[in-house]
Amino acid sequence: MTTERAASTPALPFDPADPVALTQALVRCPSVTPQEGGALALLSAVLTAEGYEVHRPVFSEPGMPDVENFYARIGTEAPVFVIAGHSDVVPVGDEAAWTRDPFAGEIENGILYGRGACDMKGGVGAMVAAAIRYRRENPDAPGSIAFLITGDEEGPAVNGTVKLLDWAHRRGERFDHCLLGEPTNPGSMSDMVKIGRRGSLTGELTVNGIQGHVGYPHLADNPIRGMVRLLAALDAAPLDTGTKHFDASNLEVTTLDVGNPATNVIPAQARAVFNIRFNDAWTPETLAAEIERRLREAAGNTVRYEIRFRPTNSVAFLTEPGPFVAMVADAVEAETGRRPALSTTGGTSDARFIKSYCPVVEYGVVGKTMHQVDECVAVADLAALERITNRLLASYFAAHHKA
């Protein structure tokens, strides 16, 4: 095994314990979803050389491109500390608008530029580097470190984390705690650790009327009148006032369509779509029931409507503050001098899938430029993330050692 591994591992032109060099090398792999782009091959070479057992399962789904994913583990004992992330990136967009080659990983004035620099090759690079340094310095460390890296986070996310977690579970892998390295910080490395995420529910509302001549309204039934009444009812009272760790749930109407170009015609139908970002006071089912109740009340027996909710796998979840969350916040504070806020804001993330297997906390670089032209990350932030992750691993396994 050892000789085979050594023979298949090409020599790297840099030390992968250097978070900046590793991030640059990852950025140079054009891994736009669903392309692997060399990113997982690079991680495979890096971690194999450090003694990890590496797997690169490919997942398929009819009508969708196959996607390669990545799992690596060092150690055979519990506890298993998992570092999760994704190697894929969003497309470049308007390439002419970039002031630098999006796949060159250039550094200028302490800033590393490139697609994925902050979302999230910087996070992967810094965390892999930190784990490498930790094991090199502590070859007899207890427990195991694992990496769960998907190639399908920015795409449909069908052949990604959900299947990778299931694949690992079937193999008998059991995880104790997870750090997901998405860019969580709005402005500086001490801003926030995410301990949960809101859920997301999308509803499609249709109001049916009767088409007719504006001059003969008694022969028609204008659906816009009913739609206005229903939407007002959805907006009238807040869904809740927030919970201990979450802001209030929020409903936004995202589109309202009638598509009627004529000024003398009462249309037959009006359609609206709304999206709710909801906290841990709700499940998609209880929330849908509340929306249906409000619509029923407002409609009485005069508005004819249909409501349909799109299927969702975005439930709200919380990793309760406790020893693990405190350990992450302690590591951030020790390296940055400021205690980060424990937040549940923002969009959804793969943490919503991981939370079914083990407690998960999210922490990563500053996300200001994610998905933008000239995406970038500060070299100093990569170094800070490497130190924070290294410190976290040290305190995590030291705590286990004592126990």
Q: Is the dihedral of CA 161, 163, 167, 170 positive or negative?
A: positive
Residues 6+ apart with CB under 8 A from 109: none
Known catalytic membership, residue 68: no
CA distance 10 to 162: 31
User: Judged by CB under 5 A, how many residues of this single chain contact Zn ion?
Assistant: 3
Known catalytic membership, residue 320: no
Q: Do 240 and 248 touch, CB atoms closer than 8 A?
A: yes
Residue bearing tokens 């802001």: 247
Instruction: Give whichever of 68 and 119 is closer to Zn ion, judged by the CB atom.
Output: 119
Stretch that binds Zn ion, among 17-25, 181-189, 195-203, 340-348 (CB under 5 A): 181-189
Instruction: Give whichever of 93 and 321 is closer to Zn ion, judged by the CB atom.
Output: 93
Give me the catalytic one of 88, 119, 182, 191. 88
Residues 6+ apart with CB under 8 A from 304: 207, 208, 209, 226
Q: Least Å distance between CB 367 and Zn ion?
A: 8
Which residues in 116-135 contact Zn ion (CB under 5 A)? 119-120
Q: Least Å distance between CB 1 and Zn ion?
A: 34
- Tell me the three state secondary structure of residue 296: helix
Residue bearing tokens 């709005």: 186
Instruction: Give whichever of 120 and 318 is closer to Zn ion, judged by the CB atom.
Output: 120
- 99 has which bridge partners? none
Q: Least Å distance between CB 248 and Zn ion?
A: 26
Give me the catalytic one of 36, 153, 176, 335. 153
Task: For the chain, count helices (H), then strands (E).
Answer: 10, 21
Phi, psi angle pair for 67, to nearest 5° = -130, 135
Q: Do 352 and 315 touch, CB atoms closer than 8 A?
A: yes
Which residues in 235-294 contact Zn ion (CB under 5 A)? none
Residue bearing tokens 């140079």: 28
Report if residue 168 touches Zn ion, rule: CB under 5 A: no
Report if residue 180 touches Zn ion, rule: CB under 5 A: no
CA distance 128 to 121: 10
CA angle at 184 for the pair 182 and 189, rounded to the nearest 5°: 115
Instruction: State both tokens at 375.
Output: 């995406």
Stretch that binds Zn ion, among 51-59, 113-121, 333-341, 375-383 (CB under 5 A): 113-121
Instruction: Give whichever of 154 and 176 is closer to Zn ion, judged by the CB atom.
Output: 154
Stretch that binds Zn ion, among 178-186, 239-247, 279-287, 288-296 (CB under 5 A): 178-186
Instruction: Give whichever of 182 and 335 is closer to Zn ion, judged by the CB atom.
Output: 182
Q: Least Å distance between CB 364 and Zn ion?
A: 8
Instruction: State both tokens at 99.
Output: 């002031």
Chain position whose Cβ is nearest to Zn ion: 119
Report if residue 165 touches Zn ion, rule: CB under 5 A: no
79: left (phi over 0), alpha (psi -120 to 50) or beta: beta
Q: Do 20 and 112 touch, CB atoms closer than 8 A?
A: yes
Q: Least Å distance between CB 371 and Zn ion?
A: 9
CA distance 382 to 123: 8
Q: Least Å distance between CB 372 and Zn ion?
A: 13
Q: Least Å distance between CB 86 and Zn ion?
A: 6
Which residues are identified as catalytic? 88, 153
Residues near Zn ion, by CB under 5 A: 119-120, 182
